[in-house]
Amino acid sequence: MPATPATPAADPHDRDRLRADCANCFALCCVALPFARSNDFAVDKAAGTPCTNLRQDFRCGIHTRLRDSGFQGCTTFDCFGAGQQVSQVTFGGEDWRSHPGTARRMFEVFPLMRQLHELLFYVTEALARPAARPLHPRLRALLDETTRWTAAGADALTADLDLPDLRGRINTLLLETSELVRAGAPGRRRSHRGADLMGARLAGADLRGANLRGAYLIAADLSGADLRLADLIGADFRDTDLRGADLRDALFLTQAQLGAARGDAGTRIPPGLTRPAHWD
């Protein structure tokens, strides 16, 4: 396993760096990543090709009309702060338009950085869970290791980073965290890990402490459901009805998952996440 660069230890309470700051990013998600014509995107776009809606100032020309224009996928994407990290730290503020020689490397690094920042998001949440205190020393070590990789140069990230190994080691601890946290939920803890629950009618269901890792919940009815302490990592919430659902203290819930779902003023969400603008 390659050594990681030496940088100051990470602060597990600093979550601001894991929030997208589009004003300090060179629209990397609009250029580096590919997308295919679907319900989420109105057109096909190859990786490394700027979206046709991208303006010269790195702003989206249809930002206020994305969902109505067939670009719903753009409204749910979350880079976890990787965009500004690559733009301002890895490449020192040199944008790919003014410095076209950096473009290929920048677009290559961005997907790696995005995965690193997503891992930081999950580890940071695990460290915030008192029930996972026995795991905190190992979680903190992995937080520091991952943070050091985010500060690495483009060459080290593309040549030396063993992302599958790092993800595997982190996932082991996230699974242990899940077991400890969900043990605090009352009643029987259901396991729907990886289950096909597309279109399922689960309105008002008691899913406290449930394992919904990687579950397919596309267009499922979870209105009024109790999802407190449920493990939601990787659950597919596209068009899921979360109106009136209780997601307070749900485990590993992301902003992108909320953005993909339908909710309303009665949907209760964890602190640190925001209510999507398209919700009722």
Q: Is residue 264 located within the same domain as residue 200?
A: yes
| pLDDT tens for each residue of 211-245 | 999 999 999 999 999 999 999 999 999 999 999 99
Distance between CA atoms of residues 69 and 58, nearest Å: 19
Q: Is residue 62 located within the same domain as residue 123?
A: yes
User: Has residue 4 got a pLDDT over 70?
Assistant: no
pLDDT band at 189 (very low <50, low <70, confident <90, very high): confident
The residue-averaged pLDDT of 168-195 equals 95
Position 209 scores a pLDDT of 97
Check: CB of residue 261 under 8 Å from CB of residue 239.
yes
| 211: amino acid identity, one letter | N
**Residues in the chain, overall count:** 280
Distance between CA atoms of residues 207 and 216, nearest Å: 15
Q: Report DSSP state, residue 63.
A: G
- Is the residue at 2 inside a domain? no
Q: Is residue 91 located within the same domain as residue 205?
A: no
**181, 212, 235: which is the final residue of a domain?**
181
- Is the residue at 11 inside a domain? no
Question: Per the structure block, which two tokens stand in for 132?
Answer: 């996972």
The residue-averaged pLDDT of 41-47 equals 93
pLDDT band at 275 (very low <50, low <70, confident <90, very high): very high
Alpha-carbon separation of residue 78 from 90, 101, 111, 236, 258 (angstroms): 19, 26, 12, 14, 11
Find all residues with CB under 8 Å of 32, minimum gap 6, and list them. 47, 48, 106, 107, 108, 110, 111
Q: Is residue 208 located within the same domain as residue 150?
A: no
- Is the residue at 241 inside a domain? yes
Of the chain, the end-to-end C-alpha distance in Å amounts to 48
Position 255 scores a pLDDT of 95
Q: Is residue 174 located within the same domain as residue 209?
A: no
Q: Is residue 207 located within the same domain as residue 172?
A: no
- Is the residue at 225 inside a domain? yes
pLDDT band at 60 (very low <50, low <70, confident <90, very high): very high
Q: Is residue 155 located within the same domain as residue 251?
A: no
Q: Is residue 93 located within the same domain as residue 46?
A: yes
Is the whole model's pTM more than 0.85, yes or no?
yes
- Is the residue at 156 inside a domain? yes
Q: Is residue 98 located within the same domain as residue 176?
A: yes
pLDDT band at 5 (very low <50, low <70, confident <90, very high): low
Position 1 scores a pLDDT of 47
Q: Is residue 260 located within the same domain as residue 219?
A: yes
User: Has residue 15 got a pLDDT over 80?
Assistant: no
The residue-averaged pLDDT of 97-115 equals 96
- Using a 10 angstrom Cβ sphere, with 0-12 exposed, 13-18 middle and 19 or more buried, the burial of residue 2 is exposed
**131, 146, 181: which is the final residue of a domain?**
181
**CATH number of the domain residue 262 falls in:** 2.160.20.80
The boundaries of the domain holding residue 255 are 188-280
Distance between CA atoms of residues 109 and 35, nearest Å: 18
The residue-averaged pLDDT of 139-162 equals 96
User: Any idea of the CA torsion for 180, 249, 170, 274, to the nearest 10 degrees?
Assistant: 180
- Is the residue at 60 inside a domain? yes
- Is the residue at 1 inside a domain? no
Q: How many domains does the chain have?
A: 2
**130, 164, 181: which is the final residue of a domain?**
181
- Is the residue at 214 inside a domain? yes
Position 190 scores a pLDDT of 87
Distance between CA atoms of residues 276 and 259, nearest Å: 6
Mean pLDDT over the full length of the chain: 93
User: Has residue 2 got a pLDDT over 70?
Assistant: no
The residue-averaged pLDDT of 114-128 equals 97
Position 122 scores a pLDDT of 97
